Structure 1
Amino acid sequence: MDALGKARALALLAPAVLLGGALGSQYLGGLHPCEMCYWQRWPHWAALALAVLAIALRKSAAGLWLLALAAFAIFVSGGIGVFHAGVEYGWWEGLTSCSTGLSGGSAEDILNSIMATPVVRCDQAQWTFAGISLAGFNAIFSIGVAIAIWGLMAKARKP
């Protein structure tokens, strides 16, 4: 596989794995995401769509632009992860303090949903490993992957 093929594979697999980990920790591990956790997911969803398009259009200049945009979306998620991790570590204040997952329905349904939904603070890490929160890991992996994709793209341009 050439450098661009590796970059495309990385642009597709990295957000898929990171989203899989986030969804797995939520639905299988019982970790409830805060608002900033959700913010980190949106660029990964965009990166997946851009990577699929980059693969479909790999023989055109548009495919290269889409690949670069996929890397940028992954980088944005990492940047949000840096901000979120900073809020968790108390380096700066966040924009929000908590989030809930409310759904529509009658007033009674909404009240029951409020009472059953845990309040998740953005400034408290629910899980850490070696002092690094999930937001911190997202920042490290996402920024690293984005740089790797751009590096592979630059390598492919060299004769």
Structure 2
Amino acid sequence: MSKLIGYFLDRWLGWALFSSALMLAIAHAFETFGGYAPCTLCLHQRTVYWAAGAIALVGMVLTSRPGMKRFRWAFNIALALAFAIGMGIAIYHSGAEWKWWPGPTTCASSGGKVDLGALAAIAEGTAKIKPPSCDEAAWRLFGISMAGYNVLISLKLTILSLMAATSRRQFA
């Protein structure tokens, strides 16, 4: 089992890139196919995955060069920091959904699509579109919202990044 874990941690930059891309794909699928427009905090959580994906990709490219493998730990620490920031945003978002604290003042803004018909309806007061709010969960499974699941996933990714960074193999 420890060989399998070592194999996984040795390739963590690639797995982190895959995980980030998967999380972004899932978020966009909920938006595109499920009709769930992202709120402001949802968009901030996505930004973390874009940043983590970029860190992982740059790390993969640079550490594949001769003599650079020993710097993998630095990229894994950067990933741990990025995922921990994402977890913090997700905790804040979850807390706002559970009304433990207020959400941001931009809570009713949307990253959704805008067209002239929608703008005219808003101007006339006949809009049927309600922008998503950060303090109301649009979707829950087993009582946990998307932000709640993001807390758990970000925690897992943070721990794995730290494990990869502190693995003895990172310094070889």
TM range (shorter): 0.7 to 0.9
Q: TM-score, normalised by structure 1?
A: 0.84
For the residue of structure 2 that corresponds to 1:118, the secondary structure is: coil
Distance 1:31 1:76 in 2: 24
Code of the aligned partner of 1:132:
I
Q: TM-score, normalised by structure 2?
A: 0.79
**Structure 2 unaligned runs (5+)?**
1-5
Asked if structure 2 preserves the Cα contact closer than 8 Å seen for 1:78 and 1:143, the reply is yes
For the residue of structure 2 that corresponds to 1:67, the secondary structure is: helix
Matching of residue 7 in structure 1 with residue 12 in structure 2: yes
- Residues 124-156 of structure 1, C-alpha deviation per residue, up to 9 Å, x if partnerless? 000001111000101110121111121122123
For the residue of structure 2 that corresponds to 1:76, the secondary structure is: helix
Q: 1:110 to 1:130 in 2, by over 3 A?
A: closer
Q: 1:21 to 1:70 in 2, by over 3 A?
A: same
| Alignment match, 1:133 | 145
Distance 1:25 1:113 in 2: 25
Distance 1:20 1:113 in 2: 31
Distance 2:152 2:144 in 1: 10
Cα distance, 1:56 vs. partner?
0.3
Following superposition of structure 1 onto structure 2, how do residues 104-143 of structure 1 map, counting pairs within 5 Å? Answer: 111-112=119-120, 114=122, 115=127, 117-143=129-155
**Structure 1 unaligned runs (5+)?**
none
Cα distance, 1:71 vs. partner?
2.6
Following superposition of structure 1 onto structure 2, how do residues 1-40 of structure 1 map, counting pairs within 5 Å? Answer: 2=7, 4-40=9-45
Deviates more, 1:120-129 or 1:52-61: 52-61
| Alignment match, 2:100 | 91
